[in-house]
Structure 1
Amino acid sequence: MVSLHFKGAAQPGHHLRLSAGSQRLVCGGLLCLFAWMAAPAWGQPDFERPPIDYLNAEVNDPVAKLAKRIEAGEVALQSDPKFGYLPSVLDALDVPLSSQTLVFSKTSLQLHRISPRRPRALYFNDDVYVGYCQHGDVLEFASTDAKQGAIFYTLSQSVKKEPEFVRDRGGCLSCHASSRTQNVPGFLVRSVFADAAGRPKLGSGTFTTDHSSPFEDRWGGWYVTGTHGSMRHMGNVICTDEAHLLDRESGANQDDLESYFRTESYLTPHSDIVALMVLEHQTQMHNAITAANFETRQALHQSYQMNELLEREPDFISESATRRIESSADRVLKYLLMCDEFQLTDSVAGTTTFAKEFASLGPRDSEQRSLRDFDLETRLFRYPCSYLIYSDSFAALPVEVRSRVLEKLRRILHGEDQSEAYQHLTSTMRQEILEILEATHPDFQ
Structure 2
Amino acid sequence: MFRFLLFLVLAAVPLSASAQFDIEHEPINYLKAPLADPISKLQKRLNADEIQLTFDDKSGYLASLLKTLNVSETSQMLVFSKTSFQRSRINPRTPRAIYFNDDVYIGWCQNGDVVEVTAVDPQLGGIYYSLDQEEVDHPKFSRHTDTCTLCHASSVTQGIPGHLVRSVFPDSSGNPILSTSTYRTTSQSPLKERWGGWYVSGTHGQQRHMGNMIAKSSREPEAFDPDAGANVTDLSKLINVEPYLTPHSDIVAFLVLEHQAPAHNALTLANYQAKLALRDEEILRKMDKDPNSPRTESIQRRLDHSADLVLKHFLFVGEASLTDRVHGASGFADQFTQRGPRDKRGRSLRDFNLHTRIFQHPCSYLIYSAAFDGLPTELKGIVYRKLHDVLTGRDQSPAFKHLSNEDRQTILDILLDTKQDLPKTWHE
Structure 1 length normalisation: TM-score? 0.90
The residue type paired with residue 77 of structure 2 is T
String of CA shifts for 1:209-249, please: whole Å, max 9, x gaps.
11111110101100000000000001000012323313211
CA distance in 1, matches of 2:337, 2:11: 36
1:423 alignment partner, one of 377, 401, 406: 401
Of 381-390 and 299-308, more deviation after overlay is shown by 299-308
SS of 2:384's equivalent in the other structure is helix
CA distance in 2, matches of 1:51, 1:222: 38
Aligned partner letter, 1:57: A
CA displacement 1:87-119 (0-9 Å, x = unmatched): 111111111010000000001231111100000
Asked if structure 2 preserves the Cα contact closer than 8 Å seen for 1:182 and 1:287, the reply is no
**Deviations for 1:128-176, whole angstroms, at most 9, x for unmatched residues?**
0110000000000000111111100000001267421000122222465
For structure 2, the residue ranges without an aligned partner over 5 or more in a row are none
Contact map agreement 1:31 1:187 (CA 8 A) in 2: no
Q: 1:80 aligns with which of 52, 56, 62?
A: 56
Alignment of 1:194 with 2:170, yes or no, is: yes
Q: Which amino acid aligns with 2:86?
A: Q
Partner of 2:369: 391
CA 1:272–1:320: 2 relative to 1, 3 Å: same
- In the other structure, the counterpart of 1:30 is 5
Q: Shift of the alpha carbon at 1:261?
A: 1.5
2:286 is equivalent to residue 311 of structure 1: no
SS of the residue corresponding to residue 85 of structure 2 reads coil
- The equivalent of 1:298 in structure 2 is 276
Alignment-derived partner of residue 75 in structure 2: 99
The residue that corresponds to 1:18 in the other structure is: none
Question: After the TM superposition, which residues 14-29 of structure 1 pair with which residues of structure 2 at under 5 Å, given as runs?
Answer: 14=2, 28-29=3-4
1:58 lines up with 2:34 in the alignment: yes
Q: Say if 1:393 and 1:160 are closer, same or farther in 2 by CA, change over 3 A.
A: closer
Which of 346, 353, 378 aligns to 2:324? It is: 346
Q: Specify which of 405, 417, 421 is matched with residue 383 of structure 2.
A: 405
Cα pair distance change 1:39/1:88, threshold 3 Å? closer
Q: 1:252 aligns with which of 230, 251, 268?
A: 230
Residues 1:165 and 2:141 are matched in the alignment: yes
Look up the match of 1:236. Answer: 212
Q: Which residues in structure 2 correspond to 1:111-260 (within 5 Å)?
A: 111-159=87-135, 162-174=138-150, 176=152, 178-241=154-217, 242-260=220-238
The 1:160/1:356 distance shift into structure 2, 3 A limit, reads closer
1:40-62 C-alpha deviation (Å, 9 max, x unpaired): 97436422221001111111101
Residues 9 and 163, structure 2, Cα contact 8 Å, conserved in 1: no
Q: Secondary structure at the residue paired with 1:258?
A: helix
- Offset at residue 319 of structure 1 (A): 2.5
Q: Whole-Å Cα distance in 1 between the matches of residues 46 and 15 of structure 2?
A: 37
What corresponds to 1:20 in structure 2? none
SS for the counterpart of 2:207 is: coil
- Name which of 248, 271, 274 aligns with 2:249: 271
Distance 1:314 1:29, change over 3 A: farther
Matched residues in 2 for 1:219 and 1:187: separation? 16
Matched, 1:328 2:303: no
Opposite residue 121 of structure 1, the aligned amino acid is: A
Partner residue in 1 for 2:25 = 49
Distance in 2, matches of 1:315 and 1:395, equals 27
SS of aligned partner of 1:180: coil
Residue 381 (structure 1) aligns with: 359
Contact 1:32–1:187 under 8 Å retained in 2: no
Q: Is the alpha carbon distance of 1:35 and 1:240 closer, same or farther for their aligned partners in structure 2, counting shifts above 3 Å?
A: farther
Letter in 2 for 1:370: S
Aligned partner of residue 156 in structure 2, secondary structure: helix
CA positional deviation for 1:29: 2.4
**2:208 and 2:230 in contact (8 A); partners too:** yes
- CA contact under 8 A between 1:32 and 1:175: conserved in structure 2? no
In structure 2, C-alpha distance between the alignment counterparts of 1:38 and 1:57, rounded to whole Å:
18
CA contact (8 A) 2:13 2:150 kept: no
For residue 193 of structure 1, what is the amino acid of its counterpart? F
CA distance 1:250–1:32, shift in 2 (3 Å): closer
- The code of the aligned residue for 2:291 comes to E
SS of residue matched to 2:283: helix
TM-superposition CA deviations, 1:194-223 (whole Å, max 9, x none): 110000011112111111111101011000
Using the TM superposition, name which of 164-173 and 307-316 deviates more.
Answer: 307-316
Report if aligned partners of 1:153, 1:165 keep a CA contact under 8 Å in 2.
yes
| TM-superposed deviation, 1:308 | 2.2
- Cα 1:407–1:209 change in 2 (3 A) is same
The DSSP-based 3-state class of the residue aligned with 2:40 is helix
| 1:273–1:293 Cα change, 3 Å | same
Note the residue ranges of structure 1 that are not aligned, 5 or more in a row.
Answer: 1-12, 15-27
Cα 1:315–1:143 shift into 2, 3 Å:
farther
Scaled by the length of structure 2, the TM-score of the pair is: 0.94
Task: Pick closer, same or farther for the CA change 1:197–1:66 going to 2, 3 Å.
Answer: same
For residues 396-440 of structure 1, the C-alpha deviation after alignment (integer angstroms, 9 at most, x for no partner) is 111111111110111111111110000000111111111111111
Offset of 1:316 from its aligned partner? 5.0
Superposition RMSD in Å:
2.0
What code does the residue aligned with 1:262 have? N
Contact 1:84-1:157 at 8 Å conserved across structures:
yes
How many angstroms does 1:70 deviate by?
1.1
CA distance in 2, matches of 1:108, 1:316: 50
1:145 is aligned with what amino acid? Answer: D
Q: Secondary structure at the match of 1:190?
A: strand
Q: How many residues are matched? A: 420
**In structure 1, what is the Cα distance between the partners aligned to 2:195 and 2:248?**
14
1:110 matched to 2:86? The reply is yes
